Amino acid sequence: MEKWLALKVDVDTWRGTREGLPRLLNLLQRFQANATFLFSLGPDHTGRAIKRVFRKGFLQKVSRTSVLEHYGIRTLLYGTLLPGPDIGAREAQRLHEVKQAGFEVGIHCWDHIRWQDYVAHKSTDWTRREMSLAVQRFDQVFGEPARTHGAAGWQMNESAYAFEKNLGFDYASDWHAFAAGF
């Protein structure tokens, strides 16, 4: 029986966009594999995740995944000691090339850290603003509306689900499986 595998690549940081993305594209093309790329389209504020240090279990995760090694020291300072670079503005050309190479592209978020950490308890206005910024930037970069949205950290709220419907995405990746006990 033929089996299909769907690959979704979430691009979270500016560094990931500049360094990881081209390498992955290269690899996928070499093996003639396809994938959907979801982009973080606004500021990279990864450094703000530093407050997770104070959350239970974070230090264990750090030691398991070697956060410093994966992200690099500069990325961990964006949004704290260094201003957060605007990924979609700086890398528009690079992002557009992903689409031109034949890969499906979509929205991951505007500001990854802000969405992942706060959306669950934020208002309709806050949510609309974040999603609108991402949608507008996507239009600018790709010259057409996004067809898919993959929520950062799989975090959502009721308004976000409503906006997803209004925005007419073909499909979305936005369900937190862990919360459902899987």
- Smallest separation (angstroms) from Zn ion to the CB of 10: 4
Q: Considering beta carbons, is residue 44 or 103 the nearer one to Zn ion?
A: 44
Residue nearest to Zn ion (CB): 10
Minimum CB separation from Zn ion for residue 169, in Å? 17
From 10, 91, 130, 164, residue interacting with Zn ion (rule: CB under 5 A)? 10
Q: Which is nearer to Zn ion, 11 or 141 (CB)?
A: 11
Contact status: 91 vs Zn ion (CB under 5 A): no
Nearer to Zn ion by Cβ, of 12 and 130: the residue is 12
Which sign does the torsion angle of CA 8, 12, 16, 22 carry? positive
Measured from the CB atom, the residue of 46 and 127 that comes closer to Zn ion is 46
Helix/strand/coil (H/E/C) assignment for every residue in the chain: CCCCCCCEEEECCHHHHHHHHHHHHHHHHHCCCCCEEEEECCECCHHHHHHHHHCCCHHHHHHHHCHHHHHCHHHHHECCCECCCEHHHHCHHHHHHHHHCCCEEEEEECCHHHHHHHHHHCCHHHHHHHHHHHHHHHHHHHCCCCCEEECHHHCCCHHHHHHHHHCCCCEEECCCHHHHCC
Angle between helices 92-100 and 21-30 (to 10 degrees): 10
Binding residue for Zn ion, selected from 105, 113, 152, 160, defined by CB under 5 A: 152
Among 12, 111, 117, 130, binds Zn ion (CB under 5 A): 12
Q: How many residues bind Zn ion (CB under 5 A)?
A: 3
Kindly state the smallest distance separating residue 58's Cβ from Zn ion, in Å: 17
| Stretch near Zn ion under the rule CB under 5 A, chosen from 18-26, 69-77, 85-93, 149-157 | 149-157
Q: Does 113 bind Zn ion (CB under 5 A)?
A: no
Chain contacts with Zn ion (rule: CB under 5 A) = 10, 12, 152
